[in-house]
Structure 1
Amino acid sequence: MESSRAVAPGLDELADLLTRLTRLLLNTSGEGAEGIEETVTTTARALGGDASLLLVPDAATLTVTAADGTARTVTVRGVPEVFRLDQVTALKPLLADVGSGRTDVTRAGIALARIEGSSPPYPWWAKLIGIVLFALGFAPLMQPTWYEIATTAVLATIAATLAVTADRVPRLAAVLPLLVSTVISVVTIEAFARTPTHGGPVLLMLPALFYFVPGDYLSAATAELAAGRMTTGAIRLVSSVFLLVQLYLGVLLGVYATGASTRALFDIAAEADLPRWALFLSWIVFTAGTVLAFAIPYRLFWPLLALVYVTVAVQSLVTKLIGETGGTFVAAVVLTSVATILARAPHRPPRLVLLLPGFFTLTVGSLGMRGLTTLAGGYVIEGFRDLLKLVTIVTAIAVGMVVGATLAGPGRGEGE
């Protein structure tokens, strides 16, 4: 809703630009909204105006003030996601040009419209392949077995097909997490979880569901709370938990549909049979899948892979020294510090893009799924152990991100 005050020349154009910028930043803020206010206000000042925001995860009240003191207030809404990181990447050099005075509001508006209207960099089938690779790279973390990888290849193809279909059928997107988890649960129980020697059914399902599990959202919400952003953190936390519960409910519906007992949701890992080289290469598959699934420009594959290996190496080494929680915390500090420092250069990718693949290696939403489904199966001790571990690890990641950003010094905004 806009105010009815008279506007000065140029205010309409400036307000339109900042409104669209805020909406784009909201739509790509699934990993946190911490940089939106700084980015918008910095851009407004660079263009000769001023701006202030009252922000929640899916909306912002934006007030734009022109040089002569006239103002306009706009309510901007968005859907926080991380699926178009090509737009985030393209936005950074534009904001750098605005900040340095190399472009004016008119040209900035044209460039922003081009970014908003751009098509995804990869065709639908590449996204489908990306989701499958994303799941295959994650599979050895659940169970380092060839059976887990083979099962994941089938289940992830089903999940990816549903995800790509939802892109073309918007009404399907609203129930996608529930639908995917139900279908994956049915197929897993009927076709793959025939014997305990292959591991528990939830361990077989999780890699295919990892694309939908909100572990990164949980960590981002906790990081916002740790940084004192109570409103955005609390709302994002509730949203993440609701998404996790949808996935959990879908798994239960799959159990009921097959006529199986919830006792079938045991959480036992199969004996490992993957060689070490396969575990090492899985991170290459994982990073390639992340690039395709989240529309990251392919030229960034190698730096992102390097950050993934750094994160995994730090976490593995420190875990051996002081335990899993300490290893996760230190890895989060290192990843966030390095990504923040690298993102300062105008020609380098934004911090969000640099963080995301390494952040996924630390994410813990799967622990929440394991805990809830194990509880539903009647395995109370194991279920509460997973949920307690979820709370501990997600806090370690969140605090590590805050510490890492603090050690690296002040940032320059999400889009920069």
Structure 2
Amino acid sequence: MNPRAAGLDELTGFLTRLTRLLLDTSGEGAESIEETVRAAARGLGGDADVLLVPDGAALTVTARDGARTVTVRGFPEVFRLDRVTALKPLVADIRAGGLDVPGAGRRLARIEQSAPPYPWWLKLLGIVLFSLGFAPLMQPTWYEVGTTAVLATIAATLAVAADRVPRLATVLPVVVSTVVSVVTLLAFAGDAAHGGPVLLMLPALFFFVPGDYLSAATAELAAGRITTGAVRLVYSTFLLVQLYVGVLLGLALTGTSRRALFDVAAEADLPRWALFLAWVVFTAGTVLAFAVPRRFFWGLLALVYLTVGVQSLVTGLAGEVAGTFVAAAVLAATATLLGRAPHRPPRLVLLLPGFFTLTVGSLGMRGLTTMAGGYAVEGFQDLLKLVTIVTAIAVGMLLGATLVPVTDRRSSSSASRKRSARRP
């Protein structure tokens, strides 16, 4: 028997806290939770079984003195990736047999109690930069960039305020989209030459558009995780509908006809260098908005350019669906391979910025608002394209993860030998 093996009570307490923290940071998918919790349990001389739904888990812990089942609840988000990053070396040390439960518990407590790595004003700046990086994708015009700077600052201010006012957080998507809709219609959408009002609104709302949740839900369904995928799909659709309702409320408050929700893009006037540098702005925004340690910026930027480059190349050769599918597969395989190294960030952190470049929640918003404006055919085409592209992302990510296993077998075998050497 392993002399470091924990008792049932202390092991259950630690794994419950670990599972809750993993659930709270699982907005992009729950596929790694089971493996992480089981690995931690084995490293501490016990065993664990996890039955997941997106906001909860039934955790069964087995130790030398029995077994126990507990229910763990957590709300899936993705805004504190510094915690995800800090969990990786903790779990690695546990798996290697270098920590007992009290020591692991103290390190986990430090992660749970840690303050965000950036002050509120840098998070606000991050959301603005995140939106500005996407603005040229909607319309490559200076007017779009200038409009986004104003609207994203308003949206970011509300997002930061919601961190301190829980009641606002519960209705944040509809509040943000309503305010952005009103300001856009009153101040920026007077001239059709600048493009449709929804195209002006979308970059500022992109931080709240659940395109990543939609893709994660589809990926979980494709991988056979029916419960987590279906629930996450319903939740992401609900978030999308909230944003849509906010846009309609903006129309009502300003007395604007729904026919104004046309989807016509303005003539491009941004130079190529601005389009290229937009991804630098976007990556910097992602680091600040999602609390990613700044030392990972250059690696994440490289993955963003890799994803965009592959997507652009294959799209030019074989069309948008093929380009998205191949880019998703390459991103997933590369992030999985790089994430094996102990000194690199976890796979989720490596995936996220590139994943955002592929997600298409904006198509859902454009489809719903276009249909609301009376343009049924165009709206349906956007929604059909949404389903197609989301599926391509999900299957591509699944293929990439299949081609490159998450765990290096040689590393796993080495860790197992080290643990065995410590046992009498």
The TM-score, its normalising length taken from structure 1, stands at 0.96
Deviations 1:74-128 (A, max 9, x none): 1100010100000000110011100101111110000000000000000000000
CA distance in 2, matches of 1:11, 1:410: 29
Residue 244 of structure 1 is matched in structure 2 by 240
Of residues 11, 15, 21, the one that matches 1:14 is 11
Structural mapping, 1:369-380, within 5 Å: 369-380=365-376
TM-aligned CA deviation for residue 9 of structure 1: 7.1
1:189 aligns with 2:179: no
Give the conservation status (yes or no) of the 8 Å contact 2:122–2:288: yes
Deviations 1:345-391 (A, max 9, x none): 11111000000000000010000000000000001111011000000
CA distance in 2, matches of 1:164, 1:73: 37
Q: Per the alignment, do residues 367 and 9 of structure 1 end up closer, same or farther by CA in structure 2, a change over 3 Å counting?
A: closer
Deviations 1:380-408 (A, max 9, x none): 11101100000000000000000000011
- One-letter amino acid of the counterpart of residue 224, structure 2: G
TM-aligned CA deviation for residue 247 of structure 1: 0.3
Structural mapping, 1:15-414, within 5 Å: 15-68=12-65, 70-411=66-407
What's the RMSD between the two structures over aligned residues?
1.1
- One-letter amino acid of the counterpart of residue 229, structure 2: G
Question: Could you tell which deviates more after superposition, 202-211 or 38-47?
Answer: 38-47
CA distance in 2, matches of 1:16, 1:163: 33
3-state SS, counterpart of residue 163 of structure 2: helix
Give the conservation status (yes or no) of the 8 Å contact 2:340–2:406: no
TM-aligned CA deviation for residue 202 of structure 1: 0.2
> Unpaired runs of 5+ in structure 2?
413-424
Deviations 1:23-59 (A, max 9, x none): 0000000000011011101110110001111110000
Give the conservation status (yes or no) of the 8 Å contact 2:7–2:64: no
TM-aligned CA deviation for residue 12 of structure 1: 1.3
- One-letter amino acid of the counterpart of residue 207, structure 2: Y
CA distance in 1, matches of 2:91, 2:39: 9
CA distance in 2, matches of 1:58, 1:9: 27
Residue 4 of structure 1 is matched in structure 2 by none
> Unpaired runs of 5+ in structure 1?
1-7
Deviations 1:308-345 (A, max 9, x none): 00000000000000000000000000000000000011
CA distance in 1, matches of 2:407, 2:116: 28
Give the conservation status (yes or no) of the 8 Å contact 2:6–2:101: no
Give the conservation status (yes or no) of the 8 Å contact 2:118–2:291: yes
Give the total of aligned pairs: 405
CA distance in 2, matches of 1:400, 1:99: 30
- One-letter amino acid of the counterpart of residue 167, structure 1: D
3-state SS, counterpart of residue 168 of structure 1: coil
Q: Per the alignment, do residues 9 and 375 of structure 1 end up closer, same or farther by CA in structure 2, a change over 3 Å counting?
A: closer
3-state SS, counterpart of residue 55 of structure 1: strand
Deviations 1:239-259 (A, max 9, x none): 000000000000000001100
- One-letter amino acid of the counterpart of residue 153, structure 1: A
TM-aligned CA deviation for residue 410 of structure 1: 4.1
CA distance in 1, matches of 2:135, 2:294: 23
TM-aligned CA deviation for residue 151 of structure 1: 0.1
TM-aligned CA deviation for residue 409 of structure 1: 2.1
CA distance in 2, matches of 1:355, 1:248: 27
CA distance in 1, matches of 2:325, 2:152: 30
Give the % identical residues.
Answer: 78
CA distance in 2, matches of 1:113, 1:286: 32
Runs of 4+ that moved beyond 4 A: none
Deviations 1:190-221 (A, max 9, x none): 00000110000000000000000000000000
CA distance in 1, matches of 2:70, 2:224: 25
Residue 418 of structure 2 is matched in structure 1 by none
CA distance in 2, matches of 1:373, 1:9: 56
Give the structure, 1 or 2, with the largest relative contact order (CA under 8 Å, sep 6 or more).
1
Give the conservation status (yes or no) of the 8 Å contact 2:6–2:45: no
- One-letter amino acid of the counterpart of residue 171, structure 2: V
CA distance in 2, matches of 1:285, 1:82: 20
The TM-score, its normalising length taken from structure 2, stands at 0.94
